[in-house]
Every structure is written in structure tokens, then in C-alpha cells.
């Protein structure tokens, strides 16, 4: 007994010591953060580094956020765009230098930043770009610059778009693990990897057209900025004519191949700074910290922007996934706020839970009876993401937004053959025929399949009705363009799923017009709060990086397979989500 008391006292003492140590570090971190407030000096260059994860919005109130350096790991798209807009009229900023190893953002987000940079150029200030080596997305963004430079041993990876899909049917057969699939929509191919060992003609068709539509945006924008034809861009991509610095210069993808110190000298020259003097640069992250990531306004009226980003899951929701509870609460707050005159729902989601999607849809129906409701689509607004968009007053999408995917599926793991092989036998005891429901250790019964299929078909019909009513179409018209097929925003506008091609700013401006206001502030919803337990769990000594451990043990390619199977095995209920898992290369 004495031993247990001593053990408990020791454990308690350790936790108290860790807590005190944590608080001391937090205080030190807070003190340093106050001293390190970003200061923008005169005659500066704004440096665009986009390697950190970019989300449409990141509004997380967390204790010790500064100490844990959480905010520096994630950047808000709307703050980046606002900062670039503010730099246009900031006398201290003379130009922008795009200098980033990569861009941790989706295509629609990247295109939005590029479009804002085009607007920046109208101020007469310069934009230059430098990279040791340009990835395709980085080059797409950087092509907006007046001059582009690359390291002499670097190059430009301009090669067109490709997608790779993994299929697990043979793997399932080999090990006796099976995913039971029920779906509606010939293009609803999210489940295809588990029921086939190669891509279907329908899926190849939709993916080819999707990639071609996105690639056309790449080509058109790059060609316009580099004074080339679209055909020339295709020729360069087909023959990899930017694969080294010499070819990149020869084919006018870049202006010159130089080293970083030479690039800095060019910037000094542009600012009339002597070679032996320091070049003043401010990162986009620090520029935002200085207060330039927000719009200053004294207007009383407000437009609410409700951010719905991530997969749709039944539950509360946080900054990484959409839960109906947080979104519904945010919508109700915006409706009750008398200063809010209109609401914009910003969607960046591949879809997810059908139940949660419908609950959000219902709240949006109630919302638009009170105030104008406009939707802005980001990288994705597919399946469940489109489900919650379809009943708004107007839908804006980026040209490269992946949307549509009007279809549903259910996927249920079954390990009966695997259990037989390893000698595991499951026995059931029940009071009624359906008491147990479904067991992963027994083959799926015909009755269970029929009941589940009925649920899938019912939800698909509901999906068609929601879209038909929201888009002023017949169910037959919607069914023609549904079947789980995905479209880009550009294609979606042509077939009536989207009203306008435009940015979040365009959607906000339209919402203000609908509300008959000319001066307004934008208020973002929802705000997420992390308690002490959440913050404490982020400490390096409080967590184990299981992802890295597994990846190191089984290899990157095998880990990708494991992660895909694990993600689908965790799905619950009817799913309305993007119809494929793919990596665009």
C-alpha cells in the first residue's frame, strides 16, 4: 500500500513538474513573441514564401499558440490575398519577390494568389521570382513575374498533369480482406480501387477531361504571361524543354540563370541600394503579423464569411474537418447578428458524411430565408461539398475548382475469408433476425445488402431533388450530369451547376450588392478554440509520431496503400464524397 502511495506521489510530482516547466517556457515564449513583432522597414521587398500549409482560413484561439509556433505552420489564404492587396498602396513595399521552394496549396488557391499578383502589377511595382528549381505549381505562380530567374544547375518541371490511382482488388483477394461496396453513379469511382484491378472506361473518361480542363488553365495563364502560344507550352511540356537551366532560358520559360547572390544584387539595383548595403525584405508571414493581413474599415455593416473546409464528418468539427455542429452554430450566429447583412459560405471540401451534409443543407435553407446566401468554392466543392452549396442564391467557383460528383456510396470492410485462413471462427447469439446487424467476420447477407442498397438509392434521389430545386432544374436534367461525375468550375458553369467564375472577393461583393450595402467589414466564422489539454498534447514530449514510424518500417509506397485502406475502412454511414483517390503529378 505504501509502495502504491509513493508511486502515485511520484507520478503526480512528475506531471506537476512538467506543467510548471511548460508554463515557464510559455512565459518565455510569450515574452520573446512580444519583442519579435514584425516591423516593416522602408524601401523593402515583400518576399512570397508559400511552403507552409495554406488553408482558406485559420482562426484558432489556442493557449500557448505563440510558444508552440502553431500559427507559423499554417497560413490563411484570405490573409495572404489581403496582404498582397495592402502592399499595392504601401509606400514601404517597392515590389514582390516570389521565392519559395514549393507551394503548399491547392490549384484553385494558387490561381487565386496568382490573380491577386496580377492585380498587384497594376500598381506599377515590380514582381520578380527566383528558385533553385521550379516545380510545376511553383512555376505556374511565378510565371506572373516580370522577370523569372533560376539557379544555373536548376530547371523548370513543366510537363503537364498526370494522376496515379492505386487498385487493391488483387491485394484483397490475396489476403482474404474485402471491401463490400454499394454505390450509385457510374462515375462514383471512389470505391473502384476495391472492386477492380484497373481503371474503368468511365473513370478514365472523367479524369482525362478533368485534367485537361485544369491543364488548359495552366497553359493559358503561362502563355499569356510569357508571351507564348498555348501550342508552344504543350510542346515544351511534351519534350521537357525546361528540364535544365539552359533549356529553360532558351525556351523563354525564365529570363536568366543566376545564383542567389546575383539575384539579391538585382533586387538591390531595383531599389537603388548600394551593393555593400543590406537588402530589406519582409516575408509574407511577417507582413501579415504586422497587421497587413486584414482590411481596416470603420463600416458598421458586415458580410459574414462562413468557412467550411475539410472532409464532412458527423460531429462537432474543427479547423481540419467540417462538422455539422460548428457550421450550424456559425450560421445561426451570423443570422442573429444584426450587423451582418449577408452570408457567404466558403466551401473547400471533397465531401463526406451524407447525414452531416443534409443537416448543414437544412440549416442553409433556414439561413437564406433570413439573409442573402452566396457560395464561394475553393479547391473542392465535390459531392457532399456540392450538396451544401446547391441551395444558395448564387454559386461562384474558381475555374479549377473540382465540383459536382453528385452520387453516393457505402463501403463496408469484410474479413470473413481472412478469418477462415488464420483459424478465427465468429459465433453469434441474437434475440431477433437483425439484432447483430453486420459482422465483418461473416459474409454479407443478401438481406443486409438490399437494405443498405435501398438507403443508397434513397439518398441519391434526395441528392437529385436538392440539386434540382436549388439549381432550378428537373431531376432528369440533374441525373444527366450527375452519376458521381466530377467537373472543373469552368465545366460546371457550362452545365449549370455554377453561376459565375470568380474569387471569394467576387462572392462577397455580390453578397453586399444583394444586401444593398456599399461599405462593409468582413467577419469570419467559425472561430475554433483549443483548451489546455489540446495545446498540451502538441508538445513534442507528449506525442509519438506514429506516421513516421510506420512509414520508416514499411516504406513510403506501402504506407500510401495502408493510409488509403485505413481511411476507407473508417468511413461510417452513407458517403457523398469525391469519387476518386488520386495524386496529380
What's the grid cell of residue 245? 537551366
The backbone torsions φ and ψ at residue 380, rounded to the nearest 5 degrees and listed phi first, read: -135, 145
- Residue 42 neighbours by CB under 8 Å, 6+ apart: 91, 92, 280
Distance of CA 97 to the CA centre of its chain: 25
215 in helix, strand or coil?
A: helix
Q: Please state, in angstroms and rounded to a whole number, the distance separating the CA atoms of residues 525 and 346.
A: 10
Distance of CA 347 to the CA centre of its chain: 10
The backbone torsions φ and ψ at residue 224, rounded to the nearest 5 degrees and listed phi first, read: -65, -40
How many of the other CB atoms lie within 10 Å of CB of 549? 10
What's the grid cell of residue 285? 508571414
User: Among the options 188, 228, 371, 493, which is catalytic?
Assistant: 188
What's the grid cell of residue 82? 489581403
Residue 114, CA distances (Å) to 89, 138, 326 in order: 18, 10, 31
What's the grid cell of residue 76? 490563411
**Active-site residue 405, yes or no?**
no
Residue 434, CA distances (Å) to 411, 412, 416, 451, 456 in order: 19, 17, 19, 11, 19
Element (H, E) at 492: helix 489-495
Burial environment of residue 191 by CB neighbours within 10 A (0 to 12, 13 to 18, 19 or more): buried
Q: Is the dihedral of CA 62, 68, 73, 75 positive or negative?
A: positive
Q: Name which of 100, 82, 83 is nearest 137 in CA terms.
A: 100
Element (H, E) at 84: helix 77-88
User: Among the options 383, 392, 405, 416, which is catalytic?
Assistant: 383
User: Would you say 305 and 505 are in contact if contact means Cβ atoms under 8 Å apart?
Assistant: no
Q: Please state, in angstroms and rounded to a whole number, the distance separating the CA atoms of residues 406 and 475.
A: 12
Buried b / exposed e over 231-266, threshold 16 CB at 10 Å, is: ebbeebbeeebbebbebbbebebbbebbeeeebbeb
Residues paired with residue 231 on neighbouring β-strands, in sequence order = none
**Active-site residue 188, yes or no?**
yes
- Residue 411 neighbours by CB under 8 Å, 6+ apart: 179, 180, 181, 182, 191, 194, 568, 571, 575
Element (H, E) at 53: strand 53-55
> Which residues participate in catalysis according to the annotation?
188, 383
Amino acid at each position: 500500500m505504501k509502495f502504491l502511495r509513493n508511486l502515485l506521489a511520484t507520478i503526480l510530482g512528475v506531471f506537476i513538474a512538467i506543467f510548471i516547466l511548460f508554463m515557464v517556457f510559455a512565459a518565455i515564449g510569450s515574452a520573446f513573441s512580444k519583442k519579435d513583432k514584425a516591423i516593416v522597414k522602408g524601401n523593402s521587398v515583400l518576399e512570397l514564401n508559400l511552403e507552409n500549409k495554406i488553408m482558406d482560413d485559420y482562426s484558432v484561439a489556442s493557449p500557448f499558440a505563440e510558444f508552440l509556433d502553431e500559427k507559423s505552420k499554417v497560413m490563411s489564404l484570405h490573409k495572404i490575398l489581403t496582404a498582397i492587396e495592402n502592399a499595392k498602396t504601401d509606400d514601404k513595399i517597392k515590389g514582390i519577390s516570389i521565392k519559395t521552394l514549393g507551394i503548399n496549396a491547392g490549384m484553385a488557391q494558387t490561381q487565386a494568389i496568382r490573380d491577386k499578383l496580377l492585380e498587384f502589377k497594376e500598381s506599377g511595382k515590380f514582381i520578380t521570382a527566383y528558385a533553385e528549381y521550379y516545380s510545376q505549381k511553383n512555376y505556374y505562380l511565378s510565371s506572373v513575374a516580370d522577370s523569372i530567374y533560376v539557379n544555373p544547375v536548376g530547371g523548370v518541371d513543366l510537363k503537364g498533369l498526370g494522376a496515379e490511382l492505386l487498385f487493391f482488388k488483387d491485394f484483397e483477394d490475396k489476403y482474404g480482406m474485402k471491401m463490400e461496396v454499394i454505390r450509385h453513379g457510374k462515375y462514383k469511382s471512389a470505391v473502384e480501387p476495391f472492386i477492380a484491378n484497373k481503371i474503368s472506361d468511365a473513370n478514365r473518361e472523367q479524369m482525362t477531361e478533368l485534367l485537361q480542363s485544369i491543364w488548359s488553365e495552366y497553359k493559358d495563364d503561362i502563355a499569356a504571361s510569357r508571351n507564348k502560344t498555348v501550342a508552344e507550352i504543350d510542346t515544351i511540356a511534351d519534350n521537357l524543354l525546361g528540364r535544365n537551366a539552359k533549356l529553360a532560358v532558351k525556351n523563354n520559360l525564365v529570363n536568366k540563370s543566376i545564383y542567389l547572390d546575383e539575384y539579391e544584387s538585382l533586387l538591390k539595383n531595383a531599389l537603388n541600394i548600394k551593393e555593400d548595403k543590406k537588402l530589406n525584405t519582409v516575408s509574407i508571414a511577417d507582413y501579415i503579423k504586422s497587421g497587413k493581413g486584414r482590411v481596416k474599415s470603420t463600416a458598421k455593416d458586415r458580410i459574414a464569411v462562413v468557412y467550411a473546409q475539410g472532409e464532412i464528418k458527423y460531429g462537432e468539427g474543427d479547423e481540419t474537418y467540417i462538422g455539422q455542429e460548428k457550421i450550424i452554430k456559425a450560421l445561426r450566429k451570423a443570422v442573429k447578428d444584426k450587423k451582418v447583412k449577408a452570408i457567404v459560405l466558403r466551401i473547400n471540401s471533397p465531401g463526406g458524411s451524407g447525414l452531416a451534409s443534409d443537416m448543414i443543407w437544412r440549416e442553409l435553407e433556414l439561413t437564406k430565408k433570413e439573409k442573402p446566401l452566396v457560395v464561394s468554392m475553393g479547391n473542392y466543392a465535390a459531392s457532399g461539398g456540392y450538396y451544401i452549396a446547391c441551395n444558395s442564391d448564387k454559386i461562384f467557383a474558381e475555374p479549377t475548382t473540382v465540383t459536382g460528383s453528385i452520387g453516393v456510396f457505402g463501403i463496408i470492410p469484410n474479413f470473413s475469408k481472412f478469418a477462415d485462413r488464420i483459424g478465427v471462427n465468429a459465433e453469434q447469439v441474437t434475440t431477433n433476425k437483425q439484432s447483430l446487424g453486420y459482422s465483418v467476420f461473416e459474409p454479407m447477407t443478401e438481406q443486409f445488402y438490399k437494405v443498405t442498397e435501398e438507403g443508397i438509392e434513397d439518398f441519391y434521389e434526395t441528392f437529385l431533388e436538392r440539386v434540382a430545386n436549388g439549381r432550378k432544374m428537373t431531376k432528369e436534367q440533374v441525373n444527366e450530369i450527375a452519376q458521381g461525375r466530377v467537373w472543373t468550375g469552368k465545366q460546371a458553369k457550362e452545365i449549370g451547376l455554377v453561376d459565375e467564375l470568380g474569387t471569394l472577393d467576387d462572392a462577397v461583393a455580390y453578397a453586399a450588392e444583394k444586401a444593398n450595402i456599399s461599405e462593409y467589414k468582413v467577419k469570419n466564422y467559425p472561430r475554433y478554440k483549443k483548451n489546455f489539454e489540446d495545446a498540451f498534447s502538441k508538445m513534442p514530449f507528449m506525442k509519438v509520431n506514429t506516421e513516421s514510424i510506420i512509414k520508416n518500417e514499411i516504406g513510403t509506397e506501402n504506407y500510401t496503400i495502408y493510409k488509403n485502406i485505413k481511411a476507407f475502412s473508417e468511413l461510417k454511414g452513407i458517403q457523398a464524397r469525391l469519387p476518386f483517390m488520386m495524386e496529380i503529378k
